[in-house]
Amino acid sequence: MLEPKTYEAKVDDRLSIPLDVTDLDDLDLVRESGDRWHLLHQGVSYHIEVEEAHYADKVFVLRVNGFRHQVQLADPYDVLIDKLGLAKKVVHAINEIKAPMPGLIRELQVKVGDSVQEGQPVLILEAMKMENVIKSPAPGIVREIPVDVGSPVEKGQVLVVFE
């Protein structure tokens, strides 16, 4: 199993800097307050402020001596996955939304021609006396809504069709 000892920091999608864990241990880095840090490296002083931290994506926006930089960290696993071509997101075309259960259409929150974003509510389906918000699984443009408010639907019935 790989042990993450060497990292890669990509700064502003331009500069790639290899970072070794042993080098990180030797840094003269001091927290000034909250998200503010002071770094002394090879005789040069750096004032660093963390503006944004997206830990799950390993993306950080830092202000270093007044200049804003985006830093993407990658551990050996990330580098391997990227080299294997597995890091690319696959986007599946979504042509329609089907009813996940039988129920009654209570409210339509979009109309034909509307542009919707991923996660945007498109309708409310009542099932077993509970209202279920049905959301768009992907961005798209509504081409057809073959159901009406108040109409019953069966599981698997098409509710919304996208272009």
User: In the predicted model, what is the mean pLDDT of residues 72-91?
Assistant: 75
Spatial contact of 113 and 142, defined as CB atoms under 8 Å apart: yes
Model confidence over 17-70: pLDDT tens digits?
888 877 777 788 899 998 999 999 888 999 999 999 888 788 999 999 999 999
Model confidence over 126-160: pLDDT tens digits?
998 899 999 998 888 999 999 999 999 999 999 99
78 lies in the same domain as 116 = no
DSSP lists the bridge partners of residue 58 as none
Domain count of the fold of the chain? 2
37 lies in the same domain as 75 = yes
User: In the predicted model, what is the mean pLDDT of residues 112-137?
Assistant: 92
In a domain, 88, yes or no: no
pLDDT value, residue 1: 46
144 lies in the same domain as 119 = yes
At 67, list the tokens. 């200049």
56 lies in the same domain as 119 = no
In a domain, 145, yes or no: yes
Which residue range(s) make up the domain with 112?
Answer: 96-162
At 25, list the tokens. 């241990």
User: Where are the strands (E) in 44-129, listed by range?
Assistant: 44-54, 59-64, 67-74, 96-98, 103-108, 115-116, 121-127
For the cut 50, the answer to whether the pLDDT of residue 115 exceeds it is: yes
For the cut 70, the answer to whether the pLDDT of residue 2 exceeds it is: no
In a domain, 1, yes or no: no
101 lies in the same domain as 155 = yes
